[in-house]
Amino acid sequence: MDIRKTLRKLQGRNNEGTLLLVLLAIVIGMSLLNPVFFTANTAFAVLRSATVPMILALSVLLVIISGGIDVSFPVVAIASAYTTVTILLATGTDVPMVVVFAIAAAIGAILGLVNGFVIAKFRLPTLIVTLGTQGVFFGAMLTYVGAKYFPELPPTMAALSTVNILDFTTAHGRANLHVLVLLAIVATLLVWAVLKWTMFGRSLYAIGDDYEGAHRAGFRVVRTQILTYVLVGVIASMAGVAHITMSRAANPQDLVGGELDIIAAVVLGGASIFGGRGSVGGTVLGVLLIQVINNSLLLVGVPSAWLRAAVGILLIVGVGIQAVSARRKAQRVHSVEDVMDLTVAQRKEA
Amino acid sequence: MSDSSFKDANNRLDSAVRGVIERAQANRSMLRMVLVFVAAFALFAFLNPRVFLGSLNLQNIMVASPEIGVIAIAMMLSMLTGGIDLSLVSIANLSAITMSTMFTAMVTGSGEFNEAMAVPVLLVGILVGVGCGLLNGVLIGIVGITPILATLGTMQILNGVAIVWTGGSTLYGAPATFTTFGKLAIGPVPMLFAVFIVAAILIAFLVNSTTLGRKIELQGANPVAARFSGIRSKAVLIGSYAVGGALGGLAGFLFLARNPTASADYGASYVLLVIVIAVLGGTNPNGGFASVAGVVIATLTLQVVSSGFTAMRLSSYQYAIAQGVILVAVMVIDAINWRKFRNKRPAPMAATGK
């Protein structure tokens, strides 16, 4: 009994334990297959490529916990960052990085406010609304801000793009850890803290679990929903700035179209598409798992074309197991007799 | 005598008009879409009659809409069951790739043989679609995975298979019969458009006049009630996703007939566009209500707006804005009416969004 309890605790509420096990199995398996895999170079490369998806996944996590689905976040990310770069380049001003982030965050917040207002005020399906606003934001950026590709960034951003926290040469070449990985880590910790310790985080789970119930319990549902989408806009804009900085060029067509991949990573991380469930830990594991698989496939020599199929299979298997076990649990309790049987069985076990 | 026959005709006309109006009122979203369609058409016809009303432009609208429309009808079908199907475009591409590869592998010098192969190739393409649809149906109906996640997964898998298969490049080669078919027209109506309309009529018949259609509707309206009414949900779900898959396969054929190339990433923007069309056409994204005619008109409306924007020399980016504004505006107007008609009772829970 005790073993079972500890096992259940290790498994985690959203299957984080299982996910961690799969991740570890892949890492160990890959290291045995190809020693090159278990190096700082690979680890840093994975962290670097996971930075932008991780920050975007955090914004998706917030929406999914609140019971919605947002497909406009990549557009919000690239639109706020690209607009910021365009403003800076057009005016020829050079501002510190903090200001760059602040301008992008302000734009992201405004776009998020539009989403939140329409969704919360009119109680519309989130997927449909964000589908609409996605088109509006994207079209507006390309029409009124510009559709040009900027190969040169403002000086501060260009300078930041080459900064590494760690930079050394190993037997397998240069290994460097980009400074913006820190941004992803800080954002992750902040979102974790908000979800765990603030009233806002609690109301997010409450609304996602049962909108009407949360409303009657006195949660300010409209305000929380609007704030959620504003926050999503701000977080997404951070990802946008990080993406443009790390790719050392501003392309307005970037990121867009990858929304479903990020949602897949978050769902893989155990967040429930019906809302009310999901954790930062699971999301981190989901994002890392996809990046590690991507990297592994390349190392084993499997064409990266298989990545999409691999993620799809992983998603189906992961969600399928959850669905089957949830149904088993639901089937157990159907009538008073079932409940009696269950309690008897539990007593026997004890 | 002539007076009474005139009166008779008048009465008949009156009742016919009233019938049309009643039916239209019963189907408010349909009427709304017809109004938007007429308004959009009139606006662009007024702004730039020479280009917009030109036969070339009208032909283009009818040639471009079938592939999107067929996928939108398939999307409507899955929404009718209370689900969603994100894998449709991937299914269409996979079917197009299968047909193209199969044809290229079998192609010989003799033109007659090539012509004879067109029908079997088409059948295989549609079977590929049905197979993918069955996979979706099994995952959703039997395994019990939420539709949006199951089809998100199969979308990635099918798309991945297509990328691996083609190596990421574009395949050339389709039966010449397909291409000639794509250029055929009955009078002013292109054959492709006729295929779209026939498919729409068949699905409308399936939904409105068959037991499977009624079961699909009930399943979407209230899955628990459907189960307790003795409807075998698993079979209904598998059936409706298989039909959706067949439509996806048909869309693959339309891709090839319009343009004899197949690639893994064709029509990537269609995935979300067909959701927009289905919802504009009056489909309830939570299931239980849909109208094929509404979806057909929504498809044409978006195509009219798109070509109208081209005729006005506006960019495709501006069209993207218009598309989004139309969707959000229609949804918001709907939401406002709901509250007034229902005595300010809260609207049904819609925030889950599926």
Instruction: Name the residue in chain B with its Cα closest to that of A69.
Output: B353
- Range from A1-5, A201-205, A212-216, B136-140 carrying the lowest mean pLDDT: A1-5
Full DSSP string of B167-192: TTSPEE---HHHHHHHH-EETTEEHH
Q: Is B341 on the interface with A (CB under 8 A)?
A: no
Distance from the first to the final alpha carbon of chain A: 7
Interface touch B149/A122, C-beta < 8 Å: no
Interface touch B349/A211, C-beta < 8 Å: yes
Shortest Cα–Cα distance, B113 to chain A (Å): 35
Contacts of B153 in chain A (CB under 8 A): 264, 312-313, 315-316, 319
Give the contacts of B292 (CB within 8 A, at least 6 positions apart). B73, B76, B200, B201, B203, B204, B207
Of B140, B158, B141, B138, the residue nearest B149 (C-alpha): B140
The neighbouring-strand residues paired with A23 are: none
The helix or strand, by DSSP H or E, that contains position A256, with its residue range, turns out to be none
Q: How far apart are CA A294 and CA A303, in angstroms?
A: 10
- Range from A130-134, A203-207, A298-302, B20-24 carrying the lowest mean pLDDT: B20-24
Question: Domain ranges in chain A?
Answer: 2-304, 308-350
Q: How far apart are CA A278 and CA B31, in angstroms?
A: 41
Interface touch A264/B156, C-beta < 8 Å: yes
Q: How far apart are CA A223 and CA A242, in angstroms?
A: 29
Give the contacts of A347 (CB within 8 A, at least 6 positions apart). none
**In A, residues 250-309, which contact B (CB 8 Å cutoff)?**
257, 260-261, 263-264, 267, 273-275, 303, 305-309
Strand B185-186, strand A164-170: pairing:
unpaired
Task: Name which of A319, A321, A329, A334 to mutate to probe chain B: the one with the most chain B Cβ atoms within 10 A of its Cβ.
Answer: A319
Of A286, A268, A265, A233, the residue nearest A74 (C-alpha): A233
Contacts of B312 in chain A (CB under 8 A): none
* Amino acid in the structure at residue A17: G
Contacts of B266 in chain A (CB under 8 A): none
Contacts of A206 in chain B (CB under 8 A): none
pLDDT score at A165: 83
User: B339 in helix, strand or coil?
Assistant: helix
Q: Is B278 on the interface with A (CB under 8 A)?
A: no
Distance from the first to the final alpha carbon of chain B: 62
Instruction: Name the residue in chain A with its Cα closest to that of B283.
Output: A128
Full DSSP string of A271-311: --TTSS---HHHHHHHHHHHHHHHHHHHHHT--TTHHHHHH
Q: Is B333 on the interface with A (CB under 8 A)?
A: no
Q: How far apart are CA A288 and CA A138, in angstroms?
A: 28
Q: How far apart are CA A256 and CA A105, in angstroms?
A: 18
Interface touch A69/B148, C-beta < 8 Å: yes
Q: Are B77 and B233 in contact (CB under 8 A)?
A: no
CA atoms in the 13 A half-sphere facing the CB of A314: 28
User: B284 in helix, strand or coil?
Assistant: coil
pLDDT score at B347: 43
The CATH architecture one would assign to domain A2-304 is: Orthogonal Bundle (1.10)
pLDDT score at B109: 58
Q: Are A263 and A69 in contact (CB under 8 A)?
A: yes
Interface touch A320/B272, C-beta < 8 Å: no
Q: Is A3 on the interface with B (CB under 8 A)?
A: no
Interface touch B144/A133, C-beta < 8 Å: no
Is 90 exceeded by the pLDDT of residue A193? Answer: yes
Instruction: Give CA torsion, residues A119, A124, A128, A131, to 10 deg.
Output: -20
* ipTM associated with this complex: 0.80
Instruction: Name the residue in chain B with its Cα closest to that of A147.
Output: B317
Q: Nearest 5°: CA angle at A166, between A161 and A171?
A: 115
Q: How far apart are CA A113 and CA A132, in angstroms?
A: 14
**In A, residues 70-89, which contact B (CB 8 Å cutoff)?**
71
- Please give the interface size between A and B, counted as residue pairs whose CB atoms are below 8 Å apart: 185
Shortest Cα–Cα distance, A285 to chain B (Å): 18
B/e letters for A59-94, b = 16+ CB within 10 Å, e = fewer, are bbbbbbbbbbbbbbbbbbbbbbbbbbbbbbbeeeee
Full DSSP string of A195-207: HHHSHHHHHHHHH
As a whole number, the mean pLDDT across chain A is: 85
**Hey, what are B131's tokens?**
């197979």
**Hey, what are A142's tokens?**
């390309």
**In A, residues 227-246, which contact B (CB 8 Å cutoff)?**
none
Of all residues in chain A, the percent with pLDDT exceeding 90 is: 36
Interface touch B160/A306, C-beta < 8 Å: yes
Q: Supply φ then ψ for residue A177, to 5 degrees.
A: -110, 115
Give the contacts of A90 (CB within 8 A, at least 6 positions apart). none
Of A72, A60, A29, A68, the residue nearest A255 (C-alpha): A72
Interface touch B164/A306, C-beta < 8 Å: yes
Q: Is B225 on the interface with A (CB under 8 A)?
A: no
Q: Are A49 and A60 in contact (CB under 8 A)?
A: no
Contacts of B160 in chain A (CB under 8 A): 305-312
pLDDT in tens, A27-77: 888 888 887 778 888 888 889 889 999 999 999 999 999 998 898 999 999
Shortest Cα–Cα distance, A329 to chain B (Å): 13
pLDDT in tens, A83-110: 999 999 988 888 888 999 999 999 999 9
**In B, residues 104-163, which contact A (CB 8 Å cutoff)?**
139, 143-146, 148-150, 152-161, 163
Of B269, B156, B334, the residue nearest A125 (C-alpha): B334
Choose between A340 and A150: higher pLDDT: A150
Contacts of B326 in chain A (CB under 8 A): 132
Is 90 exceeded by the pLDDT of residue A283? Answer: yes
User: B309 in helix, strand or coil?
Assistant: helix
Per-residue pLDDT of chain B (354 residues), as tens digits, is 455 666 777 777 677 666 655 554 446 677 778 888 899 889 988 888 888 888 888 888 898 899 999 999 999 999 999 899 999 999 999 999 999 888 888 766 566 666 777 888 899 999 999 999 999 999 999 988 889 889 988 998 998 899 888 887 888 877 777 888 888 888 888 899 999 999 999 999 999 889 999 999 898 888 888 888 888 889 999 999 999 999 999 999 999 988 888 888 887 778 878 988 998 888 888 888 888 999 999 999 999 988 888 888 888 888 888 888 888 888 887 777 554 554 444 444 444 443
Contacts of A134 in chain B (CB under 8 A): 272, 324
Q: Are A245 and A182 in contact (CB under 8 A)?
A: no
Q: Are A127 and A69 in contact (CB under 8 A)?
A: yes
